[in-house]
Amino acid sequence: MFSVLGLIKKLSIFLRSNLYSEVLATPSKFNTVSDLKTFISLIKNVMLSQRKSLETIEFNYDNIKQSSNAICPALHYQTNTPDYPEEYKIELQLLFADEYVNNNSFKFTTLELKGVCFSKMNSGVLKLMDLKHLKLANSSCPSLKNIQFSDTIEYLDLSHNGIATIKNVKFPTNLVTLKLCFNKIKSFQNFNQCDKLVQIMLNNNSIMKINNVSKFKDIKQLYLKINSIKSIANLNALSNLEELYLSHNLVSNIAELRGLPNLKILDISNNPIDNFNNAFADIPKLEKLNMCESMIRSIGKPASKLLNLKSITLCHNFISKIGNFNQMINLRNIDLGSNRIEKIEQLDNLAQLSFLGLCENKIKIVENIESLGNLRHINLSDNNISEFKLTKKGKFLEKLAILGLRNNKITEINNLKCLKNLKHLDLSINQIKTLILLKELNSCAIMRLEGNEIEKIEQDKPNYFAINWIFNDCIFNDCIFNDCIFNDCIFNAMFKKQPSLVPEDKHDMMLDLRSNRLKSTQGLSQWSNITHLKLPDTIIQISSDVITLPNTKEIKYELPASNSLFRLNQLRAQAPNLKIDFYREALWYIPVK
């Protein structure tokens, strides 16, 4: 059955019952063992023969189910083949029987057991002398009791087990990481003898209260996401805590966070917090703060004490004014999206600011951003901006690479000469009728103009677009360019490969003209690199110059409901050497992220 060549470092065994195999699994390409006792014997021999080289063993029992269990109720599958009884599953643990463990036969350091009820586990599994990483997941064990783990274990994962109670359990004295996510634990308990814990993960439980945690002196990372915690008063005893994750709880008073002098990352998003207060006075080292989807209405002066803060996320709140950021001179990222802000202000001193998120607000005028010399990405999408005009003279915003202005009321773009490093400009869903001064944006790689009212493009350089632009979902409405008429044309990911931006470069090019008013393809011959062409249902005739394009492989045509087949056959008759087909696809506008 097993032909072992050389030394094995990792052994992965996936077991599935006959019932699972017949109902859900695809036929196996490998030889299988139908008798579980025979299988145990074979695996034991392999483990013993490779005991000097084995470092990791993974057993997955997830697909051994009792016949009474509803594997797939919708199938109503009936079988005369019995599933493996529970005693067979327990017998699997004889692989680590005391006689082998006590003889110190196994040297592996990592063991993963999925689908095993560890409450019935043979003691040998927990006595492995060299075991450092133990994962016991995906079991149905509502209680963890009367278990003594080996002191050599440093990483213990008991997630996805449905554990509700922990009683009479001796955890490893050298334990560094403990994971108990996706269980039913209701209280944060002291874990006996776990004095060296550095990381505790209790996400997705039912914890309502945090008891005394003073004994966890060395803990640096605490994960308590998605619980029912109301009070965090006792957490101030964790003086060495560096990362705290409390999102999706019921915390309303963040003043209880006082006394965490080493905290660097705080995620307290999705909690009913309505204001900033003096909670941050005793958290001088905080670098990253996430308070999105709370109930915050203003940014008070206490927040200005966070002098080391580098990133702050306050999106999806009720903030109407930007304030008290000027003293946070180390800020690199500010996200204030989905608020009620009307004016950009009090950002002059933020010389290190790299990202500014202000999407989904009520901003009408873009101002007070010229002094942000390190700004690389600003998102102003979904506002009420009617004009984007940079009035300051001289060099500024030289590092700006991404400018998002999607879904505003902009009618024209002026004075963008300073944006020499702009790579992505999103002007989709605005009211632009004339596009000018694009020749100044030589470095721009992606430009989005779908959903505008563009009638023409004013451009001095011939063939400028072919040389300097990669278009992605760009709609030019009634635009005239080099005697080539495009009515509402969509340029959708023309360049499939990253081009060197010279006309001679050979690359696949897809030109998408769907959902437009274009009646003729006259003039498209200048796009010699077109390989895939998508046309709107308004096209009456494909001109001969398009048919003779040297690289065209496929033309797709958006057919109207009436006379579809007749129109398609007409087009195929025009170009018998091309693959011409029709399609019906929806257009999706994807905003800048």
User: Residue 234, SS3?
Assistant: helix
DSSP character at residue 497: S
**Top-tier CATH class for 1-185:** alpha beta
Residue 67: its pLDDT value, please?
34
Strand partners for 330: none
Residue of 373, 326, 368 whose CA lies nearest to 343: 368
Phi and psi angles of residue 559, each rounded to the nearest 5 degrees, phi first: -80, 140
Task: Indicate the domain borders of the chain.
Answer: 1-185
DSSP character at residue 458: -
Residue 565: its pLDDT value, please?
66
Residue 69: its pLDDT value, please?
40
pLDDT (tens place) for every residue of the chain, 593 residues total:
455 456 788 888 776 655 444 444 445 554 555 566 677 777 777 877 787 788 888 877 766 544 334 333 333 333 344 444 555 444 555 666 666 666 677 788 998 888 776 665 656 677 788 899 999 888 778 888 888 888 999 999 999 999 999 888 889 999 999 999 999 999 887 676 788 999 999 999 999 988 878 888 899 999 999 999 999 988 988 999 999 999 999 999 888 888 899 999 999 999 999 877 667 778 889 999 999 999 999 887 766 678 899 999 999 999 999 978 888 999 999 999 999 999 999 898 999 999 999 999 999 998 889 889 999 999 999 999 998 877 666 567 889 999 999 999 998 876 676 788 888 888 888 887 776 645 566 566 677 777 777 666 554 443 333 333 333 333 333 333 333 323 333 333 222 333 333 333 444 445 555 554 556 666 555 556 566 666 666 666 666 666 666 777 777 666 655 556 666 677 677 667 667 666 554 333 333 33
Most distant CA pair in the chain, distance = 88
Residue 455: its pLDDT value, please?
63
Residues 286, 280: Cα–Cα separation, whole Å = 8
pTM greater than the 0.85 cutoff: no
CB 12 within 8 A of CB 58: yes
